C-alpha cells in the first residue's frame, strides 16, 4: 500500500507574514488525516516562518524549486543544503510553469532531482502534456520522455511524481478520473521499465490540475493516483484540508 501524499503548491502567493496563519489552519483541519502525508510548499521567503509553524506537527514543508549546485556564483538561486538547513523536507521540481516561463528542461529537472536526493530531500517531480500535445495525440510520447530523461540515472524509489496536464492547471478543467488514471498507469509502466516492477509499485504518483474538494475523492480513488499537488485550492485551509481528508 502506498501512503497518499497531498501537497499544496502555493506558487507565488502568500507573503512570509501570511504563512503561519494558513499553516495553523491546515494543522487544525487535518489533525485527523491519519495515513495521508500532508505537505505545504510556500514561496522561498515564507519557508522560515512556515518551518516554525510546521515544527512538531504532522505537516511537512516543501520548497518550489532547488538549484543543482551546492553553492557558488548563481545569483538568485537556492541550494538543497540551504533548504535542508531551514527544515525543508520536500521540493517541487520541473513544474510546468517553470518549464513554460523559466527555461526548465528535462535535463535541468534531472540535475535538480539528483541534487535534492543527494541532500536527502524528497523531490516531487512534475510531468504533463500541454493541450496542443494532447490534441496532437502526443500525451504518451511527451510524458514518457519527461519521465525517462528527468529521472535518468537516479534512485527512482525515492522520488514522488506529479502528473499535471498543463491544460488542467488553473483552468477549472480537471482531467477526468479515467484520463488521469490512464496517464498514471502509463507513468507506472514506464517506471517499471526503468527500475523494475517492485520499485514502480512503490512510487507515489500525485495528480495535479484543478483538484478541488468536489473531485478529489474520485481522482484519488483511482488505482494509480496516490494523492494530489494542489494549486489554487491550497490557498485556504478549508479547501486544502477537505482535499486531504478526501484521501483518508
Ligand atoms: P491548480 O490546482 O490551481 O490547477 O494548480 C495545479 C498545480 O499547478 C499544482 O502544482
Cα atoms in the 13 Å half-sphere on the side-chain side of 13: 13
Whether 107 is a known active-site residue: answer no
How many Cβ atoms are within 10 Å of 132's Cβ, its own excluded?
Answer: 10
Pocket flag, ligand 1, residue 211 (CB < 6 Å) = yes
Which of ligand 1's atoms lies nearest the C-alpha of 95?
A: 10
The three cell numbers of residue 107 are 535535463
Q: Give the pLDDT confidence of 202-240 residue by residue, as tens digits.
A: 999 999 999 999 999 999 999 999 999 999 999 999 999
Query: How far is residue 57's CA from residue 59's CA, in Å, rounded to a whole number?
Result: 5
Whole-model pTM: value is: 0.98
The three cell numbers of residue 46 are 515564507
How many Cβ atoms are within 10 Å of 172's Cβ, its own excluded?
Answer: 9
Burial of 198 (0-12, 13-18, 19+ CB in 10 A): exposed
Residue matched to cell numbers 521499465: 193
Residue matched to cell numbers 494523492: 227
* Residue 91 and residue 62 in contact, taking contact as beta carbons nearer than 8 Å: yes
In order along its 248 residues, the chain shows pLDDT tens digits of 899 999 999 999 999 999 999 999 999 999 999 999 999 999 999 999 999 999 999 999 999 999 999 999 999 999 999 999 999 999 999 999 999 999 999 999 999 999 999 999 999 999 999 999 999 999 999 999 999 999 999 999 999 999 999 999 999 889 999 999 999 999 999 999 999 999 999 999 999 999 999 999 999 999 999 999 999 999 999 999 999 999 99
Closest-CA residue, ligand 1 atom 1, reads: 231
Whether 184 is a known active-site residue: answer no
Pocket flag, ligand 1, residue 228 (CB < 6 Å) = no
CA 215–ligand 1 middle distance (angstroms):
14
Cα atoms in the 13 Å half-sphere on the side-chain side of 87: 18
Q: Give the pLDDT confidence of 59-74 residue by residue, as tens digits.
A: 999 999 999 999 999 9
CA 37–ligand 1 middle distance (angstroms):
18
Longest dimension (CA), the chain: 48
For residue 30, CA distances in Å to 88, 111, 201, 247 come to 20, 34, 27, 11
Mutate-to-test residue for ligand 1 from 42, 160, 211, highest number of ligand atoms within 8 A of CB: 211
Query: How far is residue 11's CA from residue 196's CA, in Å, rounded to a whole number?
Result: 34
Amino acid at each position: 500500500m502506498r501512503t497518499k501524499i497531498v501537497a499544496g503548491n502555493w506558487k507565488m502567493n502568500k507573503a512570509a507574514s501570511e504563512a503561519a496563519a494558513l499553516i495553523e489552519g491546515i494543522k487544525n483541519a487535518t489533525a485527523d488525516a491519519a495515513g495521508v502525508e500532508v505537505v505545504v510548499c510556500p514561496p522561498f521567503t515564507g519557508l522560515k516562518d512556515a518551518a516554525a509553524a510546521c515544527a512538531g506537527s504532522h505537516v511537512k514543508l516543501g520548497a518550489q524549486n532547488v538549484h543543482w549546485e551546492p553553492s557558488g556564483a548563481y545569483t538568485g538561486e537556492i541550494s538543497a543544503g540551504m533548504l535542508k538547513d531551514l527544515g525543508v523536507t520536500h521540493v517541487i521540481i520541473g513544474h510546468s510553469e517553470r518549464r513554460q516561463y523559466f527555461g526548465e528542461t528535462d535535463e535541468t529537472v534531472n540535475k535538480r532531482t539528483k541534487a535534492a536526493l543527494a541532500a536527502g530531500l524528497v523531490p516531487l517531480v512534475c510531468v504533463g502534456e500541454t493541450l496542443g500535445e494532447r490534441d496532437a495525440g502526443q500525451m504518451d510520447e511527451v510524458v514518457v520522455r519527461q519521465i525517462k530523461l528527468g529521472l535518468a540515472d537516479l534512485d527512482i524509489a525515492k522520488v514522488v511524481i506529479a502528473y499535471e496536464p498543463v491544460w488542467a492547471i488553473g483552468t477549472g478543467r480537471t482531467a477526468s478520473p479515467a484520463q488521469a488514471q490512464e496517464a498514471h498507469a502509463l507513468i507506472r509502466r514506464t517506471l517499471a521499465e526503468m527500475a523494475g516492477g517492485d520499485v514502480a509499485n512503490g512510487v507515489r504518483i500525485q495528480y495535479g490540475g484543478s483538484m478541488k474538494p468536489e473531485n478529489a475523492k474520485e481522482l484519488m480513488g483511482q488505482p494509480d493516483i496516490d494523492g494530489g499537488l494542489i494549486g489554487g485550492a491550497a490557498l485556504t485551509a478549508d479547501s486544502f484540508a477537505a482535499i486531504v481528508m478526501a484521501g483518508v
